[in-house]
Amino acid sequence: MEQSKKNSKHIFFTRNRINLDIHHKCTLECNKCARQIMLKHPSITKAKFPGCPITDSDWKKIADHFERINFCGQISDPIMHPRLSVFLNDMYKKNKYGNVHTAVSQKPIKSFIKCFEANPNMKWIFGIDGLPKDSHKYRINQDGEKLFNIMLEATKYVKVEWQYIVFNYNQKDIETAKKIALDNNIIFTKMLSGRFAKDDPLKPSKGYYVERNDYQY
């Protein structure tokens, strides 16, 4: 048992990949996101959200050590960091790769293209839950049609994945979205959520979500 713990620690501290939230800002208000859950705390506000953009000095340590770097969107969106393209280019120069999760549509397309060009080895994962005209029903403040067009543009530069979380408003459109993705050389990933309360208005039909007895929202 003791040897197993030592091995686990060794694996943890010598791993060559990392998942990063590089900012503390997001323009969306997806109500099942960790960010929105945190905002329910009385001491946390949008104006005073915990965290800060990752600094150049901290980034250098990460870029020097890890081989695979994933930019996630757990409480923020990586496209909100003003130096994302620089970070991606640093990785490209070192022949490193990873993925970028994004769902924000408020940035201009030129900001995305700058990032796509910075590192063609990356995979970009776009959170568009439903057909583009409907995705704002969960991704509050998202312009799904604009982001969909950015996703199409991304296929000219990088590998692209369409992440599609199933809700009641989009479950009937899964096959349509899957065909759109196939026609445009995009990986399609259907995601089943377990973050639904008993009487959740967004809850899809049985079989389209993960059964959980412990979830309280």
Q: Identify the pLDDT of residue 46.
A: 81
**CA–CA distances in Å: residue 97 to residues 11, 83, 174:** 20, 17, 30
The amino acid sitting at 196 is: F
The amino acid sitting at 131 is: L
Digits of tens for pLDDT over the chain (217 positions)?
Answer: 555 555 555 555 567 899 999 999 999 999 888 888 888 888 888 888 888 899 999 999 999 999 999 999 889 999 999 999 999 999 999 999 999 999 999 999 999 999 999 999 999 999 999 999 999 999 999 999 999 999 999 999 999 999 999 999 999 999 999 999 999 999 999 999 999 988 899 999 999 999 876 555 4
Q: What domains does the chain contain, in order, with CATH numbers?
A: 17-191 (3.20.20.70)
| Neighbour order of strands in the sheet with 17-20 | 17-20, 68-71, 99-102, 123-127, 159-165, 187-191
Q: Identify the pLDDT of residue 95.
A: 96
Q: Identify the pLDDT of residue 22.
A: 96
Q: List all residues 6 or more positions away from 155 whose beta carbon is below 8 Å from its beta carbon.
A: 184, 185, 186
**CA–CA distances in Å: residue 140 to residues 21, 88, 162:** 20, 28, 18
